[in-house]
Structure 1
Amino acid sequence: MQKLKKTLLALCLVAVCLTFWTAAATAEENGDQVELQIVSVNDFHGALIENGKNPGAAKLAAYLKALRAKNPDGTLLLSGGDMFQGSVESNLLYGKPVVEFMNEVAFDAMAFGNHEFDWGIERLEQRIAQANFPYLGANILLKDSAKAAPFAKDYQMLERKGVHIAVIGLATPQTAYMTNPKAVGAYQFADPVERAKALLPQLKAKGADLVVVVSHLGSYQDKESRLISDDAARLAAGVPSLNAIVSGHTHQTIFGKVGEVPIVQAYYFGRAVGEIDLTYDKKSRQVTASVAKVSALNPAELTADPAVAAIVAKAEAEVAPIKQVVLGETLRELHHERSEQNVSLLGQWSSDVLREAAKADIAFQNGGGIRTSIPAGLIKMGNLYEIMPFDNTLFTVDLTGEQVMQVLQYGIHNSKIGMLQYAGLKVQYDASLPPGERIVAVTTLDGQALDKKRGYRVATNDFMALGGDGYSMFKEGKNLKDSNIPLRDILVEKIKALKVIDFSGDDRLIEIRSEAVGRLPAAA
């Protein structure tokens, strides 16, 4: 009897398994359950060449092609923006080889990053015309009329395995102040949540089964709780009916959910790839399962894609004559790190060069305008394009001491926009004090205290002069003038004249070290 019970139980289990298998097989056969994957990269920043942890475009392309091959009819390949600016090969060719790489890999859509505007709208429109994929920015509107910007599409309708997918593109609202006003001054970057909400009824009326957002909205993730925060998280919380969000801008590795909305961000420089896997049931018209993940790439384990390798080689050959020109030499590293809340040696030195060129009393630069360090040794033209990829020009303006103090109070230890770089002043500040109250003492190079009523001639760049990064103080000054001379050119001529940069015996330009009390004495 016991044996019979065991036999019947076994038969029941087999029947249940067969029923489940049959139902699954029937669903798969009838196409009710559809497996989709959203593959994404963001903040590539022109990293075409394999270098250290950067796999380069050719190896990244091979990885993306292989990933799509696993589900060729169910894959979307999206970019979260900031694809072009950052490397000599891309900067000198204004992003053209990056678009060639993206065309070869067959990206489906791209969001506008804030750096897509760095070279102006005309250059951006050239890249848009070159691309075989749409650039999406539903919240980029004309400032005077709130109509859509003519170069940006709100969304793209795609179809995968019979499922209609609407892809909305959203730019970060920070573009309005993080990008040169000369490029974006005519546009407004509307609230992403409100724009997405406004589009949903229209997309559903067009038959969209799924709505995905590809964006340059920032996000962060707590390592312990895994909670996701910042703009992408606010979008998910504000529009919970979205099916997936691709994030960018903050150069993080993000994978998880806010509510039921999966979010990914795949680090930067092509070092990782994001993937959101969705299971969609056609009968119920619902997503029944979703998984977000990010895969870090190891260049040593990848093989280069031949077609993209040829694109990169061509770009290298085009820029090599300019990139390899030797300008001079530095006996020590000219260090700069955008994320550091400190005045850097490169920031001080380059600011001092601009101050002298403008015959100014003081010079200011935004920390994000200097992108990297110059290693010790020979300085080549390529180094200058790496540290200053933007074609910013030298501006002069007359500010009162009170206005100079406003610049310092705003820019010193400002983690949101990066540390203000300066020359011509000695500044003491206390980072533990609230914003706007951190300055302890300011003197000029001759040891005189900053006179709030006196006028000072100030050198800066066009980005800051026109209010970039929120530096509205410059527009309130007098005699605001654009020299139309690129900062990069001024530095090139200075290095050529010096031949060797040697700081020995120069007590005005020293590295800054934090004191234990948090008070940082800064040098000119």
Structure 2
Amino acid sequence: MSPQLLNIIHFNDVYKMTENRTTQSGKMLPVVDSEGLTSANFDHVVAFSERIKWIRNSWPKAQGTGKYLEPQGLVLFSGDLFSPSVESLLSKGMNMVLLMNELSPDACVPGNHEFDFGRARFNQLVEFCNFPWILSNVQEQTPKDNNEWKTLVGLSDYRILKRAGLKIGLIGLMSQWVLILDAWKATNPLSRENMKLNDMQKTCMELSQKLREDEGCDLVFALTHAEHREDLDLAIDVAAYPADCETIKKANGKLEDLPGVDAIFGGHNHNYYLGKGVNLGDQRGTNPPTIKSNDFDTEEKYNDLLVVKSGFDFNDLSEVIIRVEDRSGKYRKKVITSLKVIRHNRPVDELRSQNIWLESSMSSVLTRQYNNEIMKSLISSVATTDDEIEVNSQETRRQETIIGNWVADAMLGWYQYQQRKLTSDSNTPAPLYIMTGGTVRGDMKLGPGEITRHQMIQLLPFETTLTLLQVEGSVLLEELNGVLTHDPSDPRVRFPVVSGFRVEWDSRIKKKKKEEGKEEGKEEEKAVKKVIIVKETGEDDTELDPKATYPVLTNTYLAEGGSGFKRFKEIKARTTYAEVAMYQALLFYINDLRTAEYQKRLEKSKSVSDGVQAAINIMKDLFEVKSDGYDWLEQLMKDAVVNVLESAPESSPLPRIEFKAKLGRIKDVSAS
């Protein structure tokens, strides 16, 4: 029999329905200003959608269940859809559901950001999807299933599709690394305590055997949301190779006699990546960036692997052409002999050269969503305050301010709240927090009265995300000295904003000009005199140890060496669920305040607890369940309470904010 061809479109990690505005030099502009959102440009999504349609239409067709013709290929998505972006924050992910419904993929695996808004919201969003989600290695216990481990509600553990004369099995996997550090693990602990994560490799092997032997699948693909190395290690374990490659020959084996999957289509890392067994054909686009090399690329064990990871955020999609041959093997009846990829980079850049674009159904969907739900959510209130505070961006750049300290405390407070829920340890030590005053924008008055989402986003209007660094005390001292030692020739002021520690410095110390040099045998005087670590536990505060290493929460701009923090660039950031835009973390912090207040009211309300117990008793009597046999009923009520805790705070009173962060964290000793 002649070889068969299978066509696939793959993409992953898409967040933003509007394209960020930038300066001519490429500098990112704010996502909001005093008027509202600064971008309503959907061109990149429309172009992406049209490119998918164009590729689909080029595929061979076959008659469907009626007289219509169906393209004989697959569209696969590897996770991270519902968040993060300013539009997703405002619609709690619904904007991306409507967008993806229009793209209509054949299968998707969830990513870590699917759970940013909590498990209850995840369930709601999945219900509105007209495309299937697959998650094979995460299970939950529910009372209605007698507490057996089952696939998450609304998801499938695998999917079987027939395309191009082939029966194809699809598996969905999330890695342990991703799940441990993602936003889902930071949601209400009750919502995940009846869940378990199974090993990717074991799940993959078990399901691939079932799909081939019991379901008669010709090919099995794994959709993954994992780190690059995790995907590569998985590919080795499940023998995702092309037939007759050097790796198989060296092992004196035959691919058809090996169990496993045929190829891996992954997401999570935002770099476009192809395994060494993939043949890169054409690269379409006006100026496709070079595929980034990795430190593991030279490792021989990773040769010949069939792994495809397709960038992020509508910048890239992979057009995949797979050649399949029959083999009579112990495990595989068909094998991949070649996997070719055509990379489509930024289709929008090609279309922008055209004077007129054809009408697109995608643009209609996005316009309605933007003009209605998103703009309405932007002006809605999220908090209230009795205080009145003026935000002056010039002041925050040059000196310590109450609003700067409040924002720093909020960032640290949100991170610590998530970290302690993740570890289930209320004594988990807090990191230090640092940013510069230029991060805080939005010249305006806050309070007294209600505060809107728009105002909160205006405070931190950039897409800059939070990140965690492990910083030696000596490096932190050096960086603080760098930004606090005034340079008369530099008009820019980079005043630090901190939480979790205090700084004593002398504003009289100025940077010497190069020609002045320094006196022989005399060390240059430092502006920073002392850094004091503030303890939460009531213990005495301690001075920073230059030889110790401290966890430091900051933003990616500083972590990449911006604002004079050059030594930070030398430190590799730790992957963490904290990597969300700062404005999103701020609104999450406010929502956490609302949830915490709601939970306190529930705990204090005897009438509520009595009502829950009464409901249990009524149902117990109704079903004539003995007192020692209604664990399932209590679990059912517990699940209901979890849903209430995650969703009901939205209808509860607004949280009250107090802008009472005291000054004195950056103390100028010259004024003493």
TM-score, structure 1 length as denominator?
0.61
1:175-233 Cα distance to aligned partner (Å, 9 max, x none): 134221424343222211111011111100201111111111121xxxxxxxxxx1111
Displacement after TM superposition at 1:506 (Å): 7.4
- Kindly indicate whether the alpha-carbon contact (under 8 Å) linking 1:176 and 1:184 is maintained by their aligned counterparts in 2: no
Displacement after TM superposition at 1:323 (Å): 2.5
Note the residue ranges of structure 1 that are not aligned, 5 or more in a row: 1-26, 220-229, 336-344, 390-409, 415-420, 429-439, 452-459, 461-467, 472-481, 511-524
The answer to whether 1:134 aligns with 2:137 is no
Displacement after TM superposition at 1:374 (Å): 5.6
Displacement after TM superposition at 1:93 (Å): 2.0
Counterpart residue number, 1:381 = 453
> C-alpha separation between the residues in 2 aligned to 1:126 and 1:117?
11
The structure-2 alpha-carbon separation of the partners of 1:355 and 1:193, relative to structure 1 and needing over 3 Å to count, comes to: closer
2:274 pairs with one of 226, 235, 255: 255
The answer to whether 1:449 aligns with 2:437 is no
Out of 377-386 and 65-74, give the one that drifted further.
Answer: 377-386
> C-alpha separation between the residues in 2 aligned to 1:366 and 1:66?
50
One-letter amino acid of the counterpart of residue 351, structure 1: A
The CA RMSD measured in Å over matched residues stands at 4.8
1:451-478 Cα distance to aligned partner (Å, 9 max, x none): 9xxxxxxxx9xxxxxxx9699xxxxxxx
Displacement after TM superposition at 1:262 (Å): 1.7
1:37 pairs with one of 7, 14, 20: 7
The structure-2 alpha-carbon separation of the partners of 1:275 and 1:469, relative to structure 1 and needing over 3 Å to count, comes to: same
One-letter amino acid of the counterpart of residue 408, structure 2: S
Displacement after TM superposition at 1:266 (Å): 1.8
- Kindly indicate whether the alpha-carbon contact (under 8 Å) linking 2:137 and 2:173 is maintained by their aligned counterparts in 1: yes
Counterpart residue number, 1:312 = 366
**What secondary structure, in the 3-state scheme, does the structure 2 residue paired with 1:156 have?**
strand
> C-alpha separation between the residues in 1 aligned to 2:411 and 2:207?
47
One-letter amino acid of the counterpart of residue 115, structure 1: H
1:26-45 Cα distance to aligned partner (Å, 9 max, x none): x7xxxx33222221221112
In the TM superposition, 1:432-511 aligns within 5 A as: 442-444=532-534, 448-449=541-542, 483-484=593-594, 508=666
**What secondary structure, in the 3-state scheme, does the structure 2 residue paired with 1:112 have?**
coil
The answer to whether 1:150 aligns with 2:243 is no
Note the residue ranges of structure 2 that are not aligned, 5 or more in a row: 23-41, 61-70, 142-146, 240-259, 278-301, 329-333, 352-356, 382-388, 417-427, 445-451, 463-467, 473-496, 505-529, 545-552, 554-574, 579-591, 598-649
**What secondary structure, in the 3-state scheme, does the structure 2 residue paired with 1:267 have?**
coil
Displacement after TM superposition at 1:422 (Å): 6.4
> C-alpha separation between the residues in 1 aligned to 2:439 and 2:656?
13
The structure-2 alpha-carbon separation of the partners of 1:422 and 1:138, relative to structure 1 and needing over 3 Å to count, comes to: farther
> C-alpha separation between the residues in 1 aligned to 2:340 and 2:111?
25
The structure-2 alpha-carbon separation of the partners of 1:286 and 1:324, relative to structure 1 and needing over 3 Å to count, comes to: same
The answer to whether 1:186 aligns with 2:194 is yes
Counterpart residue number, 1:271 = 315
1:284-322 Cα distance to aligned partner (Å, 9 max, x none): 722221124543215232357621111111121122244
Counterpart residue number, 2:582 = none
Counterpart residue number, 1:224 = none
Counterpart residue number, 1:61 = 49
> C-alpha separation between the residues in 1 aligned to 2:440 and 2:470?
26
- Kindly indicate whether the alpha-carbon contact (under 8 Å) linking 1:276 and 1:291 is maintained by their aligned counterparts in 2: yes
Displacement after TM superposition at 1:142 (Å): 2.4
1:321-374 Cα distance to aligned partner (Å, 9 max, x none): 443689975526999xxxxxxxxx99975233578999xxx995799xx9xx96
- Kindly indicate whether the alpha-carbon contact (under 8 Å) linking 1:165 and 1:210 is maintained by their aligned counterparts in 2: yes
- Kindly indicate whether the alpha-carbon contact (under 8 Å) linking 1:353 and 1:491 is maintained by their aligned counterparts in 2: no
2:500 pairs with one of 401, 407, 424: 424
The structure-2 alpha-carbon separation of the partners of 1:83 and 1:509, relative to structure 1 and needing over 3 Å to count, comes to: farther
Counterpart residue number, 2:87 = 89
In the TM superposition, 1:355-370 aligns within 5 A as: 364=430
More strand by share: 1
In the TM superposition, 1:169-318 aligns within 5 A as: 169-173=172-176, 174-179=178-183, 180-182=186-188, 183-204=191-212, 205-219=214-228, 230-240=229-239, 241-256=260-275, 257=277, 258-282=302-326, 285-302=334-351, 303=357, 306-317=360-371, 318=373
Counterpart residue number, 1:402 = none
1:362-397 Cα distance to aligned partner (Å, 9 max, x none): 995799xx9xx96744578347459699xxxxxxxx
The answer to whether 1:323 aligns with 2:326 is no
The structure-2 alpha-carbon separation of the partners of 1:366 and 1:388, relative to structure 1 and needing over 3 Å to count, comes to: farther
One-letter amino acid of the counterpart of residue 508, structure 1: I
One-letter amino acid of the counterpart of residue 152, structure 2: A
> C-alpha separation between the residues in 1 aligned to 2:443 and 2:359?
33
One-letter amino acid of the counterpart of residue 116, structure 1: E
- Kindly indicate whether the alpha-carbon contact (under 8 Å) linking 2:5 and 2:324 is maintained by their aligned counterparts in 1: yes
The structure-2 alpha-carbon separation of the partners of 1:412 and 1:352, relative to structure 1 and needing over 3 Å to count, comes to: same
> C-alpha separation between the residues in 2 aligned to 1:311 and 1:509?
53
Displacement after TM superposition at 1:269 (Å): 1.4
Displacement after TM superposition at 1:267 (Å): 1.8
Counterpart residue number, 2:65 = none
1:119-155 Cα distance to aligned partner (Å, 9 max, x none): 2222222222222221111011227854433333111
One-letter amino acid of the counterpart of residue 222, structure 2: V
**What secondary structure, in the 3-state scheme, does the structure 2 residue paired with 1:153 have?**
coil
**What secondary structure, in the 3-state scheme, does the structure 2 residue paired with 1:269 have?**
coil
**What secondary structure, in the 3-state scheme, does the structure 1 residue paired with 2:542 have?**
coil
The structure-2 alpha-carbon separation of the partners of 1:120 and 1:287, relative to structure 1 and needing over 3 Å to count, comes to: same
1:398-417 Cα distance to aligned partner (Å, 9 max, x none): xxxxxxxxxxxx97459xxx
1:490-521 Cα distance to aligned partner (Å, 9 max, x none): 999578x99xxxx9x976299xxxxxxxxxxx
